Amino acid sequence: MSHAPRDDWRPTATQAALQKRARILADLRAFFHARGVMEVEVPMLSAAAAPDVHLRSLSTWVHRPGVGAQRRWLPTSPEYPLKRLLCAGYGDVYALGKVFRDGDESRRHQPEFTLLEWYRLGFDLQAMMDETAALLQAILGPQPVLRLRYDELFARFAGIESAYTAEAGVFRRALTAAGKEIAGVDPEDTLLWRQLVLTEIIEPQLAAHGVVFVWGWPREEAALAALSPEGYALRFEVYVAGMELANGYEELREATAYAQRFAQWNRTRRRLGRPEMPVDARLLEALQANGGLPACSGVALGVDRLVMAALGVEDIEAVVAFPVARA
């Protein structure tokens, strides 16, 4: 990633890569147009931010005549305004545009990147996985598709049974057996050791399996997904070429549950010494108005990574004209 300074004005993506990217953006819009899903734009300057513990929102100041300076937050995803539209009865919607996550910069991350997020009324998690698979095939061509529940994934690729209930030591020992050295994790932090088994042992093996859907996440990682009667989250992640590409939920609908999860995340933020985020009060109002959020599922998909998968490249800079280092 080190380049001679005199070349800094140049794009990092080739013209052919940007042509492919433009084609994919057009194909995504055509896919949703054909299915009657409406494209909408969401605010880039929101009064609220996502309190998810591991997201870092960027902010700026807006000077409003007669109101004064207000701190506004750049979206980490279009989720909250899209859900307000759903609550308002506007039907199936999607947003395709930039989102912002501070501090993220690697071969697969940029602090500003392009996200596609769409919502489908009446779809359960399985139907949403079907549509996501159809979308991926439309862009990437025919692909083998593997669907595994979270515990099946751990059994098959890490030899760990009962991933939902196993204790920290089970995950820790699997990492040690695989020769993985880890620093800074509390020996009893089950969630982190489980996450590390996923990223260090399982994900590298998924590259050989085309499109992999992992569904039924542990309830601690439900985010804003509803819970199944068995107690796991109705959430899926899609991996393509071993890369995390999309994240889908059968959506949580109860306003009180949203308020509880937001408050809980902000408490965790306080405990970890991270700034608390202003909760989206208008979303909470919308969830209580006119019957609230209709039964639906939603998916957020990283478009830069989709282009990477389509081109078979490993570095996000190959699909972005001007990454943050040259922006």
Partner 1 sequence: MATYSTSEFRNGLKFLLDGQPCVIINNEIVQPGKGQAFNRVKYRNLITGRVLEKTFKSGEKVEAADVVDTELQYLYNDGEFWHFMDPETFDQYQAGEAAVGDNAKWLVEQDICSVTLWNGEPIAVVPPKQVTLEVVETDPGLKGDTAGTGGKPATLSTGAVVQVPLFVQIGDKVVVNTQTGEYVSRAKG
| 251 within 8 A of 223, measured Cβ to Cβ | no
**How many whole angstroms separate alpha carbon 276 and alpha carbon 279?**
9
- Nearest approach in angstroms of CB 133 to partner 1 is 19
Among 25, 146, 168, 223, binds partner 1 (CB under 8 A): 223
Quick one: which of 169, 168, 148 has its CA closest to 157? 148
Segment near partner 1 (CB under 8 A), from 41-49, 90-98, 196-204, 208-216?
Answer: 196-204
Residue 200 as a binder of partner 1 (CB under 8 A): the answer is: yes
299 to 7, 128, 132, 135, 283: CA distances (angstroms): 38, 8, 8, 11, 18
Residue 170 as a binder of partner 1 (CB under 8 A): the answer is: no
- SS3 state of residue 276: coil
Interface pattern 112-151 for partner 1 (x via CB under 8 A): ----------------------------------------
Segment near partner 1 (CB under 8 A), from 4-12, 41-49, 148-156, 177-185?
Answer: 177-185
Segment near partner 1 (CB under 8 A), from 37-45, 61-69, 174-182, 207-215?
Answer: 174-182
257-284 burial code (b ≥16 CB/10 A, e <16): ebbebbeebbeebeeeebeebebbeebb
Segment near partner 1 (CB under 8 A), from 27-35, 103-111, 133-141, 311-319?
Answer: 103-111
| 70 within 8 A of 47, measured Cβ to Cβ | yes
Which residues touch 129 (CB under 8 Å, ≥6 apart)? Answer: 147, 213, 215, 236, 248
As beta bridge partners, residue 106 has 109
- Nearest approach in angstroms of CB 220 to partner 1 is 10
**How many whole angstroms separate alpha carbon 86 and alpha carbon 235?**
19
Return the amino acid letter for 41. Answer: E
Segment near partner 1 (CB under 8 A), from 3-11, 40-48, 61-69, 98-106?
Answer: 98-106
- Nearest approach in angstroms of CB 185 to partner 1 is 5
Residue 269 as a binder of partner 1 (CB under 8 A): the answer is: no
Residue 176 as a binder of partner 1 (CB under 8 A): the answer is: no
Residue 219 as a binder of partner 1 (CB under 8 A): the answer is: no
* Total residues in contact with partner 1, by rule CB under 8 A: 27
- Nearest approach in angstroms of CB 273 to partner 1 is 9
Residue 52 as a binder of partner 1 (CB under 8 A): the answer is: yes
**How many whole angstroms separate alpha carbon 17 and alpha carbon 191?**
38
Site residues (vs partner 1, CB under 8 A): 52, 54, 103-109, 180-185, 192, 195-196, 198-200, 221, 223, 237, 244, 247, 300
